[in-house]
Structure 1
């Protein structure tokens, strides 16, 4: 049976940004689909409704339907699996997702009406995130720690971060596994090693085998 993977892009992006990750996941034997949505203009209800329909359709000929979300995409992946009870089997990998809430998003909130234009209908989800994960699906997170990005300019991000999201903002209680790599927020989408770690978690529910592998000339720590 087929293992499907649905890729979800982040805020201010569209599906084409996932092209490199898409190709690398295909090379690992997954059947891959890019879920394109308007991250600011569309309501969260509409986005999640479309995502749920796609998952249910793919489940008809598969053993599992995995979700891989970058940034906001990871938050939406958790949200749809938290709200819906009847879902196909599968795991979730979040790439640089501020699952505990985003300091950068809260920084935008100081702009008043401007923040609504920038963050759209997903503003509350980005600002607050989740308290913990108790869903059925195993969730793994890959966080970056190369501090290059717009978020670091617009907000005070404490500790290690990828230029947009702090590593601590990705450490949601209840995760199955978590690892930190030497790349930026956007770089998570283009790293060959991140793609390999993603595929490994989707298949075995752990990043453990990747703990000693170099990432982008740097290192990876699984915690």
Structure 2
């Protein structure tokens, strides 16, 4: 009887001691956390503790956002571990900046959607146009392709990163500023970063990456297995 009681108590302790994984969502430029609501809902169904964090993407520079807001988002994971991240666009660069300064001891996997990991020619072309900084803020001004831009000054990643690039566009004007293929904001080539674990291209435009069912399936795959689905989707 005592042995049975011990086994029951041990089994119960084992169940409660298994930490729930956390996923921090970081939206893109001039967006809010609501742009990641669908992703949040889908990952919550998978059992993750999801922190869908909003930050002032158009009023602070990348260093300020990374230092203040990403740290706050990570703190909301509390005891959940590991801490994973899913980012869209600017969110990926903000995260790279944060992780260049500090890394959670329980850092898990990172999925970046349409990140300008090598900057964007759109910024090169438009940054001096009146109104660009007003709309995109100081962080937007830091996303050029020059060697001194924030993305190109961060160096390789040293943690598991999967990058999903879009190859469709709904903005032909901006696409004319970009090497093809592109998603209307970032070229496929410039989404890549040295040290990444996996990279895949989907026929989706930049603003819709975080809502797309195929993209969400790929995010789930990388978070679970550290790789994207290829055989199943023929990519």
User: How high is the TM-score relative to the length of structure 2?
Assistant: 0.81
SS at match of 1:7: strand
Task: Point out the structure with max Rg over C-alpha.
Answer: 2
- Higher mean displacement: 126-135 or 8-17: 126-135
CA RMSD of aligned residues (A): 2.1
Q: Which residue is equivalent to 1:159?
A: 180
Matches within 5 A, 1:119-138: 119-127=136-144, 128=149, 129-130=151-152, 133-138=155-160
1:147 matched to 2:164: no
Q: Which residue is equivalent to 1:52?
A: 71
Of residues 185, 191, 213, the one that matches 2:232 is: 213
Q: Which residue is equivalent to 2:197?
A: 176
Q: Number of residues paired by the alignment?
A: 211
Q: Which residue is equivalent to 2:8?
A: none
Aligned-residue offset at 1:20 = 1.1
Of residues 191, 210, 233, the one that matches 1:189 is: 210
Take 2:152 and 2:112, find their aligned partners in 1: how far apart are those partners?
A: 13
Take 2:178 and 2:188, find their aligned partners in 1: how far apart are those partners?
A: 10
Q: Which 5+ residue runs of structure 2 have no aligned equivalent?
A: 1-18
Aligned-residue offset at 1:133 = 4.7
Q: Which 5+ residue runs of structure 1 have no aligned equivalent?
A: none
Q: Which residue is equivalent to 2:121?
A: 103
Aligned-residue offset at 1:205 = 1.4
User: How high is the TM-score relative to the length of structure 1?
Assistant: 0.85
